[in-house]
Amino acid sequence: MKTKVNQFKCLLILFCLFLIIGVGCEKDDEKSNYAEGYIVGFDPCTINHQYRIGYIFISTDLQDTLVTYNLSDPSYKMPASVLLNPSDTLYKIPESYFQNYRNSAYLPKAVRYEFKIKITYAYATNEEKKFNLCSTDFNYSDFNNAKQVIIKSAIK
């Protein structure tokens, strides 16, 4: 009888451990967030050094400023595409919109709200974040405070 009770206790303890491990592995950072807004700028370092373009997104209510590096072509291209995969181009941003990048990280005021977009995103983990080497570029305070995200889906 004692053997069966001990086996039952061991199984119960193992079950509890698996339950605790399963609950503990749930990741909060993989939650999807939704936002509507506009592509209003870009990471000037990515233009200057011809990295994959990082776009600055601002929500319609002006409460969130986000930056993402996964909405552009995998390699630097002009005109700049806004896409999630090569067969799904949402916008082509003309090269001329990026010409003033040394003075501003934002698209020209006249077109700043031209690129409306609805996104589903997750905050980038430390492993997913892009840290481009741009030691000679200016710091843009608005851009540096933006949260880096990974876009999961995007529509116009």
Q: What are the residue ranges in the chain where pLDDT is below 50? A: 16-17, 24, 26, 28-29, 141
The pLDDT value recorded for residue 30 is 62
Strand partners, 154: 119
Q: How many CB atoms lie within 10 A of CB 134?
A: 15
The pLDDT value recorded for residue 145 is 60
The pLDDT value recorded for residue 84 is 83
Summarised one tens digit per residue, pLDDT across range 23-53 is 545 454 468 899 999 999 998 888 888 899 9
The pLDDT value recorded for residue 45 is 84
The pLDDT value recorded for residue 4 is 58
Residue environment code for 72-110, b if the CB has 16+ CB neighbours within 10 A, otherwise e: beeeeebebbbbbeeeeebbebeeebbeebeeebbbeee
The pLDDT value recorded for residue 2 is 58
Q: How far is residue 10's CA from residue 22's CA, in Å, rounded to a whole number?
A: 18
**For the chain, domain boundaries:** 33-155
The pLDDT value recorded for residue 28 is 46
Phi, psi of 68 (to 5 degrees): -140, 150
The pLDDT value recorded for residue 17 is 47
The pLDDT value recorded for residue 141 is 47
